[in-house]
Amino acid sequence: MIGIVDYNMGNLASVINAFEKIGAKIAVESDPDKLKKYDKLILPGVGAFGDAMKHLRENSMDSAIIEYSKTQKPLLGICLGMQLLFESSQEFGKHKGLGLIEGKVVAFDEDNFDHKLKVPHMGWNELFVSRETPIFKNLPKEFYLYFVHSYHVVCDDKYAIGKTYYGYEFVSAVNKDNIYGIQPHPEKSHNNGLKIIENFVDL
């Protein structure tokens, strides 16, 4: 059984539909004490980093996720959920994250773009696989996914499994041990996204 962390940050319907489409057994969980019963865990999220961490802390969901990560069972952060895996974010001030992966979340630096682009980064863009990983199994080295974000992760290259180019190259997918994160929305990315979800389920 796969659990989706519910902490009042974003509509979970599209994530649920994507997992159900491939036949996965999935449940929405808002009780931190019950996270440990799941075989795999999804941390989704839409909105601001600081608000998300506030919601996670309100009922100790943050510490429950940290404890879950120590079980070696697979954990996947999606979009804002990926960013929350890191130590801090500069979004609307400085905020402490879950600290499961070393690194920080920063705004797109438009001054360093190679040409004028709009922020947020919104729409279809390529993910370039930078390291072999089970969640990209049977996908090409470069494939398109759907993005919506104004901030991105900066971390040691050893954690990067995917990168994307928007004004400059940034890390768009990460892995550390049993912990995975992906900046684009696989649940909104048609067949490529469904394949990532299927691969996660198969871990």
Catalytic residues: 79, 185, 187
CA distance 38 to 27: 9
Residues 64 and 29 sit within 8 Å (Cβ to Cβ)? no
d(CA 166, CA 120): 10
Quote the CA–CA distance of 82 and 185 in Å, as a whole number: 11
- Are the C-beta atoms of 63 and 7 separated by less than 8 Å? no
Are 16 and 44 contacting, i.e. CB atoms less than 8 angstroms apart?
no
